Amino acid sequence: LAIALVNFSPKDDLALTLRLTGVAASEAKGLRINAARLGDTNLPGQPEAVTTAPLPGPVSLTTPLPLPAHSITVLEVRVAAP
């Protein structure tokens, strides 16, 4: 199961806890797309301003997940029927 979480806020970080019903899942792996400023773009021949980085370790689905301002977080959750 892939879940994309988008924080559209230009300045406010958020945190949320996912609750998946009908499946057994407690951890995920993920990556985050982010930049220092909302209007940043990547240009050929220049250092990357917008980066994609893996989230550290397994991501718990039972504790709040931080979503930095103007970021995209993608989770890959292995699920099984309960």
Q: What is the C-alpha to C-alpha distance for residues 53 and 34, in angstroms, rounded to an integer?
A: 8
The pTM of the full predicted model, rounded to 2 decimals, is: 0.85
Q: What is the C-alpha to C-alpha distance for residues 43 and 31, in angstroms, rounded to an integer?
A: 21
Give the model confidence (pLDDT) of 23-38 as tens digits.
888 789 999 999 999 8
Q: Quick check: 35 and 70 in contact, CB under 8 A?
A: yes
Looking at the DSSP bridge assignments, the partners of residue 82 are none
> How confident is residue 14, by pLDDT bands cut at 50, 70 and 90?
very high
> How confident is residue 82, by pLDDT bands cut at 50, 70 and 90?
low
